[in-house]
Amino acid sequence: MLIKIRSSLDIASSEITSESAYLNRRKFLSLSAAAGATSLLPSSSLFASADASAFQNLPSVNYAPGEKITPYETASTYNNFYEFGTGKSDPAKYAHEMTTKPWSVVVNGLTDKPGTYNLEDVLKGLELEERVYRFRCVEAWSMVIPWVGFSLSALLNKFQPSPSAKYVRFETLNRPEEMRGVRSFTSSIDWPYVEGLRMDEAMHPLTMMVVGMYGKELPNQNGAPLRLIVPWKYGFKSIKSIARISFSETRPRTSWEKAGPSEYGFYSNVNPNVDHPRWSQKTERRLPNSLFSPNRIDTLMFNGYEEQVASLYAGMDLKKNY
Ligand code: MTE
């Protein structure tokens, strides 16, 4: 998305998934249980290649029923991850230069548990599941992806945000020596990449923290080792390679809001009725596509998750609050 300046689970699972997947869902496999008799997940076991099975045979819920899953090859090679360049193939070429093990996450702001945590400690005891979601980029292409992770709420609750926390802010790793886009990119993105959610959006059961996709650990270009997925929002809200989580009373300023405030708002809900100033948002290219097979489909309000999330925005003018 090059910018102008060049340079209470209220979704009944039975409504949205097959009965067998629904029943399966009851059998949540806790990561710690999968890791063995001890209730502690052994350090780095989840991310050791020997433990790749931790990402497989998980309970799976399809939130895009009847839609074709995008091939892994497409989802892992057509990416936006500006820290590695602005070309769609740059992340797949260069993101391997980022070290993701070990990984730590700083938690601060309005929380009772501030600190710097190893990823293994952050993930301890969380239950992995697979969720198939539509993913819609603001640039009007889209995919359907089986993500592996857990509800963001489960993670945030661990940090006991104070009742005065109204927003959560996420920050991507900022390591120029391993990120050629950060070293050389002259856009107005003010590194590190920052995103944010209102607390009620963050705690919504569809909001997911992701560690894998297609039954495997996340590849670096898709935001390893920890990324957000907010399926009813444009893809840029789904920040990758998260290294800091902060709770605040005031609304954080996000990278794209700073870079192009007339084009990218804080909410960024998928909305076919509000065009981007430079292109329509009424339709999308479902990847993979080609000149002869454009695969253009109508964009759905809230990316098809209106029933589940519209109440979060009751009374708001969505043309103003884009
Ligand atoms: N996160 C960081 N840190 N840097 C980025 O450039 N790009 C965003 C989002 N998260 C981006 C990011 C955009 S514009 C999109 S569309 C999605 O990541 C792409 O996610 P995907 O590569 O898994 O499809």
Give the residue, out of 138, 175, 213, 240, with the most ligand 1 atoms within 8 A of its beta carbon, to mutate for a pocket test. Answer: 240
Sole residue written with tokens 């661990």:
158
Dig out the tokens for 231 from the structure.
């399926």
Query: For the residues 175-201, what does the mean pLDDT come to?
Result: 91
Average pLDDT, the chain: 88
* Residues 33-77 pLDDT 10s: 443 333 333 334 555 545 789 999 999 999 999 999 999 999 999
Helical segments of 68-222, H only: 72-75, 90-94, 119-123, 152-158, 180-184, 199-202
Report which of residues 244 and 188 the model is more confident about: 244
Is residue 157 within 8 Å of 86, Cβ to Cβ? no
Asked whether 133 lines ligand 1 (CB < 6 A), one says no
String of DSSP letters for 254-320 = PHHHHH-TTT--SS-B--TTS-BTTB--SEEEESS--SS---EEEPPGGGGTHHHHGGGGTT--TTT
Neighbours of 255 (CB within 10 A): 23
d(CA 28, CA 154): 14
Residue with token string 């926390």? 165
| Contacts (Cβ under 8 Å, ≥6 apart) of 127 | 28, 29, 30, 31, 150, 154
- Percent over 70 (pLDDT), the chain: 84
Q: Is 181 in the pocket of ligand 1 (CB under 6 A)?
A: no
Spacing, Cα 224 to ligand 1 middle (Å): 11
24 Cα to the center of ligand 1, angstroms: 31
Average pLDDT, integer, range 114-134? 97
Could you tell me the residue ranges of all domains in the chain?
Answer: 13-313
Does 216 score more than 50 pLDDT? yes
Higher pLDDT: 135 or 27? It is 135
pLDDT > 50? residue 28: no
- Residue 89 has what DSSP assignment? T
pLDDT per residue as tens digits for the range 298-312: 999 999 999 999 999
Which token pair is 2?
């090059």
Q: What pLDDT is stored for residue 184 in this prediction?
A: 81
pLDDT at position 43, please?
Answer: 37
Instruction: Please answer whether residues 9 and 16 qualify as being in contact, where contact means their C-beta atoms are separated by less than 8 angstroms.
Output: no
Report strand pairing: 129-136 vs 115-118.
unpaired
Q: Give pLDDT tens digits for 270-298.
A: 999 999 999 999 999 999 999 999 999 99
pTM, full prediction: 0.88
- For residue 135, the ligand 1 atom closest to its alpha carbon is 24
Q: Which CATH class is domain 13-313?
A: alpha beta
Ligand 1 lined by 286 (C-beta under 6 Å): no
**Residue 121, C-beta contacts closer than 8 angstroms, at least 6 positions apart:** none
* CB of residue 81 inside a 6 A radius of ligand 1: yes
